[in-house]
Amino acid sequence: MLHVERHRQILRLLAERGRLTVGEIRSRLGVSGATARRDATALAQSGRARRVHGALLPLDFALDEPRYTRKAEKTLAGKVRLGRCVAQLLPEAGTVFIDAGSTALEVGRAVCDRPQLRLYTNSIPFLALASEARAPIVALGGEARPLSLALTGALTQHWLQNLRFDVAVIGASGLDPADGAFTTESTEAAVKSEVLRRSTRRILVATGEKWARPAALRFAPWESFSDLVTDYPFSRAERLALSRAGLRLHASLSR
């Protein structure tokens, strides 16, 4: 197959999938790894795609993840409502994981006065509330990621090997109607995936602006969650599709 035709096929697959790894190029086109890497590099150099480590992204993909302070200020009132909505689903006693992220932080604020809860987190902003909380807040060890103020990495993964949670509250950078929840960075994706695996009830919380706007990395399909809390106004068809995946939907619409 000529390289022009290969490039055309790669761009078509990229448009369909939103992200294409070098391994996927190799398997889908039946070429060697070296050829797949050369094609990915050529497409990036010609300005027809963006190259990241091990993968291609569409040219219009936003590589710059907003810093935590910008995300925390955005749609704050809606995030507070979502936090209160999730709080109603959480027990008065037990072990709960609170994810990093500005929306999950509002969940933590809403439940940190419950003394019988033991709250685990990799969120540096939530840890800062420990002095005023009635619930004990336990930090997962790890490396601080400046962009999101999350603790991630090998040490965090090691801590998680020894923990189980009654409930996990997980955030996301983007949601895909068919594929599930996405984030922007591999070490954060690894933490989210491991927490889900170690939790009995798994609650996904996200603002409606993230619907149908997946990020670079999928960390969980819809079937990995038991509940979805959002302020997105789903259509009847969307509700049916999510229900078929086993999700309980909880709306927190602005009033």
Reading the block at residue 207, the tokens are: 């603002």
Distance (Å, whole) CA 163 – CA 41 = 42
Q: Which domains does the chain have, with CATH numbers?
A: 3-57 (1.10.10.10), 68-251 (3.40.50.1360)
Between the two ends of the chain, the Cα-to-Cα distance in Å is 58
Contact 65, 148 (CB under 8 A): yes
Distance (Å, whole) CA 232 – CA 252 = 8
Check residue 185 and give its pLDDT: 86
CA triple 12-18-21, angle to 5 deg: 85
* 229-248 average pLDDT score: 95
CA triple 90-94-97, angle to 5 deg: 65
From 110, 120, 126, 215, select the one nearest 172 (Cα to Cα).
215
Percent of the chain with pLDDT over 90: 63
Question: Residue 89 — very low, low, confident or very high, per pLDDT cuts 50/70/90?
Answer: very high
Check residue 17 and give its pLDDT: 66
pLDDT score of 74 more than 80: no
Global pTM exceeds 0.85 = no
Question: Residue 63 — very low, low, confident or very high, per pLDDT cuts 50/70/90?
Answer: very low
Check residue 49 and give its pLDDT: 84
**Tens digit of pLDDT for each residue in 19-50?**
788 888 998 888 998 998 998 899 888 888 88
**Tens digit of pLDDT for each residue in 129-172?**
999 999 999 999 899 988 889 999 999 999 999 999 999 999 99
Check residue 94 and give its pLDDT: 98
Say whether 172 sits in a helix, a strand or coil.
coil
pLDDT score of 64 more than 50: no
How would you class 249 by CB atoms within 10 Å of its CB: exposed for 0-12, middle for 13-18, buried for 19 or more?
Answer: middle
Contact 82, 252 (CB under 8 A): yes
Say whether 196 sits in a helix, a strand or coil.
helix
Arithmetic mean of pLDDT over the chain: 88
pLDDT score of 246 more than 80: yes
Check residue 59 and give its pLDDT: 63
Check residue 205 and give its pLDDT: 98
Question: Residue 209 — very low, low, confident or very high, per pLDDT cuts 50/70/90?
Answer: very high
